[in-house]
Structure 1
């Protein structure tokens, strides 16, 4: 039967141009929307993810290259300034601190060096609060080299106090003190390798490792709002005292009493002596 309002209820073919009530998905002349969307989106997401991963790897590689270049520069800088650090010999120290024995004199030197590195850490931490990001690596490098200079001076003068001046000229002694600083050990006079150490690959690797540890410890100094100043001062003081304790423990094992010391020549002055008062933070606790 036929309904004039609703059309035929049979299975007859509809005239051309007539609308169909069948679902679109059952028709072959129109594609089903959404079937290809998910695979395309997944492929695009995979491409973006792979691109981001490649960019991250490239960034890590470039960052690692820059870090290695920075460490190499700092290592060369510390090696360069080591022979320029002014060191007081035992006669000068005893004249500046009369009436003190070896341990009391060593305590004075450690206290002065710890205060000096603390001043450097506080000064750099305060400067780091300035909103100038490009200055941050420069400030950090300045602190590392400044603290290294102070600690190298301390190590050299502790060797004088304990009667264990390394043999050789200024360059030989500077190399021995660099090795002592990088390994956090006293110079052993019974092991020539710890005295006449060439600045070759192993030496530079040790220095780079020491500098890397220093940089990691110094990162809190870059905190803003002057928090870095307090943290930097505290950490530098603690680390310098810890280093001095290790060096003194080694030196005590081979200590030569003052009355048994032979007549030692005066230490030569560096041709281009480093002005310790011009270090970052302007430390004045070093006795100059």
Structure 2
């Protein structure tokens, strides 16, 4: 489902002119395994779509960090987030800490795979480290997909630990994105944290987090398959670190009376923009 016009963020017409980026990121982060060839094909399409956005950003004078943040804010409501009941079904009935363990392992595998593909593609175009808007589009695509996988992980860990985030689909998407930018869980006792998630400080944190993620991927820009190996390993470590930090945070923020891992009866939410 497309993001409603009233909920689009400023600059999204530059970031995603034909909505293709959101569609591709949604497919790349959907539950289930993708065949390697299909994943490479989708990443290639995403890289081409992002190249178009980058050219438009240069033409309009949009800042590098702002452009990347606009891209992500535009596609955030398209990231497929499962509720607790669906998570248990997809993970062989696991609940609680075992389910959280499995979610983190799955996310690590996904970001490692994306990193390996992105590093290998970039190796074919080995050159001096470039700036953001002239960076190999494959690495920009990798950055967006890795960020989306990690936002998905963060959101689904909130489900596992019973930390419910209220609001519309777009509000929840922005709140989870803001939490990812800060590498923290959302406080369920501070509802204003959702409505104020797009404040100036949060936008700056998102730009900085995305730029750091891209910078990490640029370090894998090397000849032959060195980039593939490094890209996969760095992504895996970063996702593991995020999972550990969010889980520790959510254990503290678990609402009184909440039971981590208790499968709820709420209807499934296959996408944040439901």
Give me the TM-score of the superposition, normalised by structure 1: 0.66
- 1:128–1:136 contact (8 Å) kept in structure 2: no
Q: Is 1:89–1:266's contact at 8 Å kept on the other side of the alignment?
A: yes
Q: Distance in 2 between matches of 1:204 and 1:254?
A: 24
CA-to-partner distance for each residue in 1:64-95, whole Å, 9 max, x for gaps? x9797221111001111110011111011112
2:268 counterpart residue number: 266
Query: For residues 271 and 138 of structure 2, what CA distance do their matches in structure 1 show?
Result: 29
Gaps of 5+ in 2: 1-56
- Pick the aligned partner of 1:69 from 63, 71, 88: 63
How many angstroms apart in 1 are the aligned matches of 2:140 and 2:91? 33
One of 67, 79, 84 as aligned partner of 1:90: 84
Give the match's secondary structure for 2:71.
helix
Residues 186, 139 of structure 1: alpha-carbon distance in 2 compared, 3 angstrom cutoff: same
Question: 1:230 aligned to 2:229?
Answer: yes
How many residues align? The count is: 208
Q: Is the 8 A contact 1:163 1:261 kept in 2?
A: no
Specify which of 108, 111, 125 is matched with residue 131 of structure 1: 125
Say if 1:179 and 1:197, in contact at 8 Å, map to a contact too: no
After TM superposition, the structure 1 = structure 2 runs for residues 135-174 of structure 1, keeping only pairs within 5 Å, are 136-174=135-173
Other-structure match for 1:17:
none
Aligned to 2:10: none
User: Does 2:115 correspond to 1:121?
Assistant: yes
SS at match of 2:97: helix
Equivalent residues of 1:175, 1:197 under 8 A apart:
no
Alignment partner of 1:195: what SS?
helix
Alpha-carbon distance change, 131 to 215 in structure 1, aligned in 2, over 3 angstroms: closer
- 2:187–2:193 Cα contact (<8 Å) kept: yes
RMSD: 2.6
Show CA shifts across 1:242-280 (max 9, x none). 011111111111232058787534326456x9xxxxxxx
Change (3 A) 1:192 1:93: same
CA displacement at 1:179 relative to structure 2: 1.1
Q: In 2, distance between residues paired with 1:267 and 1:92?
A: 9
Distance 1:209 1:100 in 2: 35
**Between 127-136 and 68-77, the greater mean CA deviation after superposition:** 127-136
Query: What is the aligned partner in structure 2 of residue 180 from structure 1?
Result: 179
Is this contact kept in 2: 1:175–1:196, CA < 8 A? no
Q: Are 1:117 and 1:237, in contact at CA under 8 Å, matched by a contact in 2?
A: yes
Query: In structure 1, which of residues 75, 94, 102 is the aligned counterpart of residue 96 of structure 2?
Result: 102
**1:85-139 deviations in Å (ceiling 9; x for gaps):** 1111101111222342310001111001011000111001100121376984312
Matches within 5 A, 1:50-65: none
Q: Is this contact kept in 2: 1:71–1:208, CA < 8 A? A: yes
User: Which one has a bigger Cα radius of gyration?
Assistant: 1
Please give the TM-score of this superposition, normalised by the length of structure 2. Answer: 0.69
List runs of 5+ in structure 1 lacking aligned partners: 1-64, 274-288
